[in-house]
Structure 1
Amino acid sequence: MNDYEFPLLVTAPTAGAWLPDYLAGRRQAMEAQLARNGAVLYRGFAPMSGEQLDALVGTLSSASFKNDEESSPRNHVVGNVYTSTNYRSEMEIFPHNENSYKKEFPMKLFFYCMHPGSEGGETPIADCRKVLARIDESIKARFQEKKWMYVRNFTAGIGVSWQEAFNTERREDVEAYCREQDIRFAWQDEDSLKTWQVREPLLSHPASGEVSWFNHATFFNIQTLDADLRDSLRDMFGDDALPHNTYYGDGSPIEPAVIGELRRAYLAESVPIKWETGDLMVLDNLLTAHARKPFKGERRIYLSQTDPLDRAALAERAVAAESAA
């Protein structure tokens, strides 16, 4: 794999330059940079409001991403701009690709720093092409053969409710969505829902054809949590009713040694980004995973997700490419 800057750093031509003016007419160039580098960080430009960010994102995207099936708590800011996550500041968030468990996912992610916080709060990013290169061939083959399964239990009072995740109060709407999105489901009681879906672990980039490790198999697996939280959740729910867990696509458990290797692959490729006020980092979501370090103080990072992409054709290309390699 050829060397390239990760992320590609683009600094303001003059201190306090206006980023929307700088990027006017440069969408195609930015997309080419994303397909090669996986991430572009714009730094040193004048701060923007949420409204101005939303307008800029609109000029750099083909469509906004409708975020049903949400797994992270967020607040709406304006337009297609949301808070990045509302998880507690002391929590570390493991690398992941946004919405990689869905039939349709956002191709571009726009992270904007309104305020970096007083300490910590870095956003590590990892090139998933290089993550894939670190994974043992036997593990890749097992995942390609079996795929991976995401099992989710929506339990009243725990995490995101099914009403929040699916943006509805109507069970029939949830059922219609699940059928359309190839998600199996079972109502446990009045307020509880179980869903499970099987997805491909590898996808091929639509521009370059490069194959990327694109899934939540590690992120949502119970073994990825720290020991105290893992034990607490198992005591509360048992393995069958955990809020989130992953398996091989046939429902068999992913071995601890495999999860350990996958974790090491992500962490070995992680590059921490220390935020500065006014930073805009654009990620190719198919190529680049992101994470979050714990922080202190007021940290405000906004997120906009755009350019929806259906995974089916990309998965078929990835299988063909890996078979030929």
Structure 2
Amino acid sequence: MSVHLPTILSAENIRQRQALIRPYLKKTPLLQSEKINALAGCNIYFKCENFQHTGSFKVRGAFSAALLLSEEERKKGLCTHSSGNHAQAIAKAAQILACPAYIVMPENAPAFKQRATAELGAEIRFSPPTTAGREAALAAWQKETAAHFIHPYNDYDVILGQASCSLEILEELSDIDGILAPIGGGGLLSGALLSAHYFRPELKVLGAEPQLVNDAYLSLAAGKIIENKRTDSLADGLRTTIRPKTFGVFQELLSEIICVEEEEIILALRLIWEQLKIVVEPSSAVPLAALLKHKARFKGQNWAIILSGGNIDLDHLPF
């Protein structure tokens, strides 16, 4: 089957973008747990983006887009809307590149993510907790500031940056059968799909999504974008709705999305904390929840799971 992708999403550009942003990133480790492997019946490598700058993979896309701007563009600042992780990533990029950051956060964004974003020097305004509300608030603020908008995921430069995460996995692991990544707006999974497509086409790449906010699953089935009707999943980083650029990559390259219930996310989250001895947020646990839900299909295989971030409110743990 022929694949039709935008010219910018090329193998060469993925490699070039990885080289561009590498000096600004941490090389995050791959961890394993014998107990989780035994429970799952397969061999799992956890790519720990919770150890990345600002505690999530999002800085990859933020720097990928910000570093392309001219000095004059940067002086006007960077702006975005985000529930937390992309907000911190843009704030961090602005801090390192010495430019202003203007962030719209939904009013239900975790308080500690609000604080972390402000501590990096960003200005924050709040919006209703919907995609439309976030976008409207940002559009009004951008008119005031003329800042450059870096979308959390509906941006090919951001997607190219996120592809570096899975590319690191492929460079380190030669014997995996596939990669599982969570789906919020779709940037991380789009990057994984592209890296596998160009550099390891035999690999399976699957998405994992909370049942409560399964817009990507519904959108693929319908052939058009279906907005989330609710935003109350524990996985706060996955409450957003996919957009045309990530949806386009999904339509070309994604074969399957596994949806999981909130109770399954909590179980997987607890397993990661207890067995890997690391702090991750609920969004990170969704791929493990998906794998454990369908253990038989992964039996005896080698899979990489991307732990997307570790920014969790320690005052409100779900267990």
TM (normalized to structure 2)?
0.27
* Structure of greater Rg: 1
Query: Counting strand residues as a fraction of each chain, which structure ranks higher?
Result: 1
TM (normalized to structure 1)?
0.27
